[in-house]
């Protein structure tokens, strides 16, 4: 936001608060009657539509289970949490990561070498490259996704090869993240929001929607947002511009929808990750200190679009098809912090410039239907998907031209010229193709209803073809062993027993899939190409729904293959594994009228097994704590109509920053608080929101790792304030 608009945002929020107080003073004896605002989500090219919100409005009753479609939580053998738009707005979340910091089972991390959001689910990394939009991968901006672009955030925990197919980057072995598009609700929507907070930033957004035609058959929803200014970290700046249009149309048998969206995001002097380059201890610096070099930046621009259609062939069979595309451009000038002495904080940085262009095209089509064979019901699905991406990249990395600095007392340097000894790949002014990904899959599934529909048995399989090609940065030729083309069929089995209306028990076996390795040069079997690696998950659990309060318990074991013997003269083999075993306990809904709860805790034993290396055998996986969790409560204050207060405690145990478990990173905990107040001003519904995150201003490491095998660390944000107002008119 331009500098002149920042005080406008602050003044608008404060003026609305003042006007509301004045209005109450005029008639303190009477309680204003607010007009009823009904916002019900319409179906997005789907007869299933959005899963309804659970009482309390923070999460939904279910979510999308891949090709199985939208499932009720009590009737699916998988673990799904879907965060509603109401929750996103009330927590003033600005990105997917800001939403998922509330999730007790997700650790929010950062991509390797940049500011890309990444997420630990059941101890495995999911990068934002592998985030899905309405079931299609990699359509959203790959580093930072503003909340104006989506309605809900859905987290599907566990392996998902059958449900969603292999991810483009090969991550997502512990779960998947799906974003749902915004569609026009049944009632007209006119909402303008303003916000300001720590660092003097300003944020303004608009959300406008209408339905037209007979029975409101045509809908349009327009979202736009602009943010500019600082953060709670010294000298850190961010500017984001976002706009999207969502359209939908339906008649009795056909439903169509589409989106077009654009986001430009600019980070300036954003605090980088810290890599322990010889440090034997890892203290957390002051949460507000910024050790980023003033000449660093990261800019991304993305344009995306989707089309989706659904046709009821008859009362029992429905066909669907979808397409999505994205075109993205990135440019970065980075300087990661390398810590050499944990006691003194001494370290160094060096200049790293990078440009990247992405072209993504993806789609799916399928049939789903219902039938009965005697007393057995069937909900079957057949689907095919295709993903294609082309990545262009170029870089210059001046590793030998280092600038000394300090973690606790940063030393800022002028922009260093390249020394002439830098490592370079490609042309920064015209990057060439460096990677292509082609994924093709075919899936078949059936959910059988048995014993008067109290037992649900899901059977399925997906055949996946994985073809990736890596090219030399400078010559454009295919790298040695850079062409990988393998396939695998991934089965799935799930069962649900609906014990009664309140309890369901479930179990599943499902696999994850990622491409295999290629034996490196110098090994006895150099250049050998391995078959895709198969991750195997077993899970059992209980789900509870008391009407207004829900809970879940899941016990799972996931095993991911590893490779060993990569040294010169050794034989490179697929041997060993990461074994993640854990327990997840969740609670959500209304404990009593006016008290809403959302949270849980997970215990996770993530170890390296059969590694062939005594230094890593039986050691914990990088970045994964044994325990983490969160609990949030929102309370309607008695005697003060339409005022709600909320608090959230988030905590995690210690982690390791290296595979040998010699660098231990301490655990952490933080408290966030907020308030929300609804009132009527001049006949308009106004919602005031205020938040303080990291109330105690704790200094801590928010994450360790975020890319397999890497132990870089990210400092948690300091105490930050935000004040906002939204007007519905």
Gap between the Cα atoms of 69 and 134, Å rounded: 10
Q: Is the dihedral of CA 692, 724, 141, 386 positive or negative?
A: positive
Q: b vs e for 266-285, b when ≥16 Cβ sit within 10 Å of the residue's Cβ?
A: bbbbbbbbbbbeebeebebb
Q: Please report how many Cα atoms fall inside a 13 Å half-sphere around the Cα of residue 111, on the Cβ side.
A: 15
Q: Which fold has domain 3-523+534-568+577-659+671-728?
A: Maltoporin; Chain A (2.40.170)
Q: What tokens appear for 288 in the block?
A: 């507000």
In the DSSP assignment, the letter for residue 418 is P
Q: Is the dihedral of CA 70, 72, 75, 77 positive or negative?
A: positive
Predicted structure pTM score: 0.92
Name the region of 339 (left: φ>0; alpha: ψ -120 to 50; beta: rest).
Answer: beta
Q: What tokens appear for 607 in the block?
A: 């170890």
pLDDT at 521 over 90: no
**pLDDT by residue (tens digit) across 325-381?**
999 999 999 999 999 999 999 999 999 999 999 999 999 999 999 999 999 999 999
pLDDT at 178 over 60: yes
Q: Please report how many Cα atoms fall inside a 13 Å half-sphere around the Cα of residue 312, on the Cβ side.
A: 14
Mean pLDDT, residues 519-542: 86
pLDDT at 640 over 80: yes
Q: Contact at 8 Å (CB) between 662 and 637?
A: no
Domain spans, the chain: 3-523+534-568+577-659+671-728
| DSSP per position, 626-680 | SEEEEEEEEEEPTTSTTEEEEEEEEEE--EESSTTS-SEE--EEEEEEEEEEEEE
More confident residue, 527 or 587: 587
Predicted confidence band of residue 170 (pLDDT cuts 50, 70, 90): confident
Gap between the Cα atoms of 683 and 726, Å rounded: 14
Q: What tokens appear for 32 in the block?
A: 């204003």
**pLDDT by residue (tens digit) across 196-255?**
999 999 999 999 999 999 889 999 999 999 999 999 999 999 999 999 999 999 999 999
Mean pLDDT, residues 430-440: 96
Q: What tokens appear for 412 in the block?
A: 């800022």
Mean pLDDT, residues 668-676: 97
Q: What tokens appear for 186 in the block?
A: 């049944």
Cα 232 → chain centroid: 22
How confident is the model at residue 26, as a pLDDT? 35
**pLDDT by residue (tens digit) across 562-609?**
877 767 778 878 778 899 999 999 999 999 999 999 999 999 999 999
Beta strands (DSSP E) in 668-719 are 668-681, 684-693, 701-704, 713-715
Mean pLDDT, residues 667-671: 96
Gap between the Cα atoms of 565 and 574, Å rounded: 9
* 3-class secondary-structure state, position 301: strand
**pLDDT by residue (tens digit) across 64-103?**
999 999 999 999 999 999 999 999 999 999 999 999 998 9
What torsion do the CA atoms of 23, 24, 27, 31 make, to the nearest 10 degrees? 120
Gap between the Cα atoms of 679 and 681, Å rounded: 7
User: What ranges in 63-220 are assigned the alpha helix state H?
Assistant: 85-90, 96-100, 161-164
How confident is the model at residue 41, as a pLDDT? 45
pLDDT at 653 over 50: yes
* 3-class secondary-structure state, position 4: helix
End-to-end, the C-alpha distance of the chain in Å comes to 24
Taking alpha carbons only, the member of 273, 396, 369 closest to residue 312 is: 369
pLDDT at 153 over 60: yes
pLDDT at 12 over 90: no
Mean pLDDT, residues 520-533: 80
Give backbone dihedrals phi and psi of 548, rounded to 5 degrees, phi first.
Answer: -115, -15
pLDDT at 265 over 90: yes
Place of tokens 């005029």: 26
Mean pLDDT, residues 273-286: 91
**pLDDT by residue (tens digit) across 447-501?**
999 999 999 999 999 999 999 999 999 999 998 888 999 999 999 999 999 999 9
Give backbone dihedrals phi and psi of 208, rounded to 5 degrees, phi first.
Answer: -125, 135
In the DSSP assignment, the letter for residue 98 is H
Other Cβ atoms closer than 10 A to 175 = 26
Q: What tokens appear for 428 in the block?
A: 């920064």
Gap between the Cα atoms of 414 and 361, Å rounded: 41
23's enclosing H/E stretch is helix 6-26
Q: In sequence order, which residues have a C-beta less than 8 Å from that of residue 77 and are 6 or more positions away?
A: 456, 458, 494, 495, 496, 506, 507, 508
Mean pLDDT, residues 611-637: 94
Cα 573 → chain centroid: 33
Rg of the chain over CA atoms, in angstroms?
26
């Amino acid at each position: 936001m331009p500098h002149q608009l920042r005080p406008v945002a602050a003044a608008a929020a404060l003026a609305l608060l003042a006007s509301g107080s004045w209005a109450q003073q005029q008639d303190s004896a009477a309680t204003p009657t607010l007009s009823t605002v009904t916002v019900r989500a319409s179906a997005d090219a789907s007869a299933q539509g959005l899963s309804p919100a659970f009482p309390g409005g923070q999460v939904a009753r279910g979510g999308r289970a891949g090709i199985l479609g939208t499932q009720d939580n009590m009737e699916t053998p998988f673990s799904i949490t879907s965060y509603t738009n109401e929750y996103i707005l009330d927590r003033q979340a600005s990105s997917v990561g800001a939403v998922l910091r509330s999730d007790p089972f997700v650790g929010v991390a950062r991509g390797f070498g940049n500011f890309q959001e990444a997420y630990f689910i059941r101890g495995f990394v999911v990068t934002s490259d592998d985030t899905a939009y309405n079931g299609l991968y990699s359509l959203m901006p790959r580093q930072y996704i503003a909340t104006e672009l989506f309605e809900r955030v859905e987290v599907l925990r566990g392996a998902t090869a059958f449900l969603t197919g292999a991810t483009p980057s090969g991550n997502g072995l512990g779960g998947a993240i799906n974003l749902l598009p915004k569609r026009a609700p049944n009632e007209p929507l006119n909402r303008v929001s303003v916000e300001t907070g720590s660092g003097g930033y300003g944020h303004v957004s608009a959300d406008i929607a209408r339905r037209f035609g007979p029975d409101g058959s045509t809908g349009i929803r327009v979202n736009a947002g602009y943010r500019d200014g600082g953060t709670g970290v010294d000298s850190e700046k961010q500017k984001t511009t976002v706009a999207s249009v969502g359209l939908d149309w339906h008649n009795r048998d056909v439903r169509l929808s589409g989106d077009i969206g654009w986001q430009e995001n600019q980070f300036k002097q954003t605090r980088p990750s810290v890599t322990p380059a010889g440090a034997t201890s890892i203290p957390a610096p002051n949460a507000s200190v910024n050790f980023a070099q003033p000449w660093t930046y990261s800019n991304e621009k993305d344009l995306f679009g989707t089309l989706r259609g659904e046709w009821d062939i008859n009362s029992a069979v429905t066909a669907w098809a979808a397409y999505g595309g994205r075109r993205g451009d990135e440019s970065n000038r980075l300087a990661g912090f390398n810590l050499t002495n944990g006691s003194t904080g001494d370290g160094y940085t060096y200049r790293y410039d990078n440009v990247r262009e992405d072209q993504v095209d993806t789609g799916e089509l399928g049939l789903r239907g219902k039938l009965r064979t005697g007393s057995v019901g069937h909900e079957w699905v057949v689907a095919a998907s295709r993903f294609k991406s082309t990545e262009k990249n170029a870089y210059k990395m001046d590793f030998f031209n280092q600038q000394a600095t300090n973690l606790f007392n940063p030393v800022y340097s002028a922009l260093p010229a390249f020394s002439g000894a830098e490592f370079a790949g490609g042309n920064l002014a015209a990057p060439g193709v460096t990677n292509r990904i082609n994924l093709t899959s075919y899936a078949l599934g059936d959910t059988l209803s048995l014993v008067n529909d109290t037992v649900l048995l899901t059977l399925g399989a997906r055949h996946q073809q994985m073809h990736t090609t890596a090219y030399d940065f400078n010559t454009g030729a295919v790298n040695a062993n850079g062409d990988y083309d393998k396939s695998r069929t991934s089965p799935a089995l799930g069962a649900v027993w609906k014990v009664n209306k309140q309890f369901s028990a479930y179990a599943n076996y499902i696999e994850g899939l990622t491409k295999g390795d290629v034996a490196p040069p110098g090994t006895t079997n150099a250049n050998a190409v391995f078959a895709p690696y198969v991750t195997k998950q077993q899970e059992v659990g209980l789900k509870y729904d008391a009407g207004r309060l829900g809970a879940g318990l899941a016990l799972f074991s996931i095993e991911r293959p590893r490779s060993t013997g990569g040294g010169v003269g050794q034989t490179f083999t697929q041997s060993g594994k990461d074994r993640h075993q854990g327990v997840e306990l969740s609670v959500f809904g209304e404990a009593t009228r006016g008290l809403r709860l959302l949270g849980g805790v997970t215990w996770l034993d993530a170890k390296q097994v059969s590694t062939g290396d005594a230094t890593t055998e039986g050691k914990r996986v990088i970045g994964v704590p044994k325990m983490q969790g969160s609990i949030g409560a929102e309370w309607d204050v008695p005697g003060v109509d339409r005022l709600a207060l909320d608090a959230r405690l988030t905590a995690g145990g210690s982690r390791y920053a290296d595979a040998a478990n010699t660098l231990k990173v301490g655990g952490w905990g933080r408290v966030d608080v907020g308030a929300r107040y609804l009132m009527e001003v001049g006949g308009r519904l106004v919602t005031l929101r205020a938040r303080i995150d990291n109330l105690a201003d704790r200094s801590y490491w928010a994450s360790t790792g975020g890319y397999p095998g890497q132990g870089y660390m990210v400092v948690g944000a300091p105490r930050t304030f935000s004040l906002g107002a939204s007007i519905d008119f």
